[in-house]
A = this chain, B = another copy of it.
Amino acid sequence: MLEAARMEAEAQAAAAPEKKTEATERRRKPGRPRKDGNHRETILNKAEIAFAEGGYAGISIRDIAERAGVNQGLIRYYFESKQQLFDEVYRRRGGLLSGRRHVLLDQLLEGGKPLTVKAIVRAYLQPQWDLKYSGEAGSAFVRLQARLHAEPEEHALRLRREVYDASVKRYVDALAKVLPDIPKRTIGLRMAFLVGTYLFMLNDLGRIEDLTEGKIRHISKDEMLDHMVEFLAAGIQAAVP
């Protein structure tokens, strides 16, 4: 799409009175810079929530255009295709998550205290936990993750690999250092068990009420994290079969 087309699309979006949404309103406030980043971010934010609600297949560029108060041409200007938009939504917040994991591991490694399995597991889980409870966008992303993990297709795998692998591998290395008697491939496998557990917990709280006969409804998010750290750290340190 040419720059002229983008400008035309933006002009149309601004002119159409029925498209007057939060995004266009905000742009018009005095002192707010009118720049590309504004629209691009709005589209990403609205797409994140839309994909979380409807899944990749259930949401069209048109749906997102409506939610973002822009026309479809502008979305295609920034993201070419629905797949690219989805990927960018995933990369954006997944990247923040990976970054936070890196930083927490750095702090552990440089903290001078002896490394423990529990501390490493907690550092890995904490950012995902914080994200879930960070508001609408964070919890939308967590639902979107769950959906992506339920689609074991090549594309989904490639995206997750791109976003998460570097940080996960540093965690496997840190665990291998603390657990020299456990083969690294077993630690990698147990790391996969860990991912399964926390994804399920993040997404499936209704079911947990059932399995505990309603006794876990009032558990706080911190208690839940403590329980998970205890369980997973024990599993990671288990005897090798």
Which A residues have a C-beta under 8 Å from some C-beta of B? 55, 57-58, 146-147, 149-150, 152, 154, 157, 160-161, 165, 168-169, 172, 184-186, 188-193, 195-201, 203-208, 210-213, 215-216, 219, 223, 226-241
Chain B contacts of A186 at CB under 8 A? 227
Which residues from chain B contact A229 at a C-beta distance below 8 Å? 241
* Residues of the B chain whose Cβ atoms lie less than 8 Å from the Cβ of A147: 150
B211 touching A152, Cβ below 8 Å: no
Known: A188-B211, A197-B196, A199-B200. A234 touches B238 (CB 8 A): yes
**From residue A171, how far is it (CB to closest CB) to chain B in Å?**
10
Secondary structure call for the A interface: helix
User: What are the residues of chain B within 8 A of A216 when measuring CB–CB?
Assistant: 185, 188-189
In the complex, what's the smallest C-beta–C-beta distance from A35 to chain B, in angstroms?
Answer: 37
A235 contact from B195, B200, B234, Cβ within 8 A: B234
